[in-house]
Amino acid sequence: MTLRMLGCHHRNTPLEVRERLAFSPSEVGATLAAFTNTFPQFETVLLSTCNRVEFYLCADDSTDIDRNTVTTFLLNSRGIDITADDARAITAQLHWYQEMDVVSHLFRVTSSLESMVLGESQILSQVKNAYQIALDAGTAGAVLNRLFQAALKTAKRVTAETEIGKYRLSIPSVAVGDFVLRLFERLSNRTALIMGAGEMAEETIRYLKANGMERIIVCNRHRERADELAAAWDADVVDWEERLRAIVEVDMAVGTTGAPEPILTTLDYKTIEPLRQGRPLFLLDLAVPRNFEPTLADCQELYLYSLDDLREVCESNRQRRDREVPKAERIIKQESDTFIRDLNHQQTGQVIRALRDSWEKMKESEIERLLNKLSSTKTVEKETENEIRYAFDRLINKLIHNPLESLREESKEKVPHGLMDAIRRLFGLR
C-alpha cells in the first residue's frame, strides 16, 4: 500500500498562496476524476477549506508516486505554470506526508487540533463533505474509505472524551467577538450584509444575532438559498445584483462565498463611496479565495479584516484549551495505532493467504500423484493416507514459518512493502 498527502495549511502558508490553490466544491469532483483518469491505480480525496488544501492519495499495492508528479498536477489544475518563479515559491510551502504520517495528520485535522480555532466544529463537516464528494466521484476506494471513517470516529471520541469542544468556537465567533464588538459598542442599531448563504454565513448570522444585531441582510447568487437562510433567521434579502446598493446602507459586510474572484473590488466601492457620506464601513472577509479585494484596505473610513488577521486572537483562545490537547493526542495515538495495525494485518494477511493457498494446491497435487502411484501396486490404507497428509502439512508449516514470522514482525511498525513484494516474486504469487 502507498499512502501520500500533499497540501498546505494556515500555520505556515499565507492567505495569498492558499487562495491560489483553493478549490470550490464544484471543482473538487472534476479534479479527482482528472487525477484518477491519469493514475487509475490511485484512490483520492481532496480537502479544500478556507485554511487548508490537502490532496490524499492511496494505492492498494506497492505502486508509488513522487512528490513532483503530484505537485505538478495540483499546480496545473489551478492554472499555475510549474516552471514559473512564483510556482517554485508555492511548491516550497507545500507539505508532503507519507505512509503513517498521513494517518496521524488526518486524524489531527478532523479532530480540530490543526484548526486555526482549536476545538471548532466546522472542520468535521468539511472533512465529511470532502469524503462524500470523493465517494460520489468514485475515487475513494477501500483504503481511503477505512481511513476517513476512522478519522471521523476519532474526532467523535475527542469531542466526547475531552473538553476541547465544550465551549464551541468557530472562525465567525472569533470574528464577531473580537473584531466586530471591538469596532462597535453595541450591535442593536447596526445593519450587516452577509454575502453568501452557506455554513460560514449561517454561523456568522448566529453570532451577530446572539450579540444583539437586529437587522441582517442576506445576499447570494442563488436567491432561493438566500431566502431559506433569511427565513430561518428573520433576515432581509436582496438580489445578488443589488449588493452594491445594499453596501451603501449597511455598517458592515461579511464575505463568505466560494467565488473564485473578488465580489467587491476597490473600483466597485469607489462608485458607491460618495453615497455613504463618510460613514465607516467594516468588511470582514471569511472566504478563500478572498471575497474582498485587498486594496480596499487603502480606502478612507473602511476597515478590512481577513482570515489571517484572526490568527493572533485564535492563538490566544487556543492557549486556554491547550490543557485538553494531551488527552486528545492520546486518543489520536490510540486510534492511529489501531488503524495501522488493522491495515497492516489486512495487507500482510492477503499475502499470507495467497502463499498458503499456493502451497496447499501444490500439496494436494503431489499427494494425489503419490496416492495414484501407490494405489497402482496395492491398496493404500486410510491411516497411511492420513500420515502422508500429516507429513506434508508439517513440512509446509515448517517451510512457511520463517516468511510469515518476518512479515508479522515487520508489519508491527509499517506495511512491509519490500518483504511482501519479495515473497510474491519468490513464490510466484499474484
- Which residues are tagged catalytic? 50
SS3 417: helix
**Cβ atoms within 10 Å of 28's Cβ, excluding its own:** 21
Task: Tell me how far apart the alpha carbons of residues 328 and 121 are, in angstroms, rounded to a whole number.
Answer: 15
Query: How does DSSP assign 68-95, residue by residue?
Result: HHHHHHHHHHTT--TTSHHHHHHHHT-E
- Report the length, in residues, of the chain: 430
* Of the candidates 22, 261, 254, 224, the residue with the CA atom closest to the CA atom of residue 130: 22
* Residue 55 near residue 39, CB atoms below 8 Å: no
**Cβ atoms within 10 Å of 4's Cβ, excluding its own:** 21
Task: Tell me how far apart the alpha carbons of residues 70 and 54 are, in angstroms, rounded to a whole number.
Answer: 11
Where do we find the cell 508439517?
394
What is the arrangement of strands in the sheet containing 281-285, beginning at the earlier edge strand? 236-238, 215-219, 191-195, 252-255, 281-285, 302-305
Beta-strand ranges (E) seen in 93-177 are 95-98
SS3 124: helix
* Residue 419 near residue 407, CB atoms below 8 Å: yes
Q: Can you say whether the dihedral through the CA atoms of 314, 315, 316, 322 is positive or negative?
A: positive
Q: Can you say whether the dihedral through the CA atoms of 92, 57, 133, 161 is positive or negative?
A: negative
Task: Tell me how far apart the alpha carbons of residues 28 and 94 are, in angstroms, rounded to a whole number.
Answer: 19
SS3 354: helix
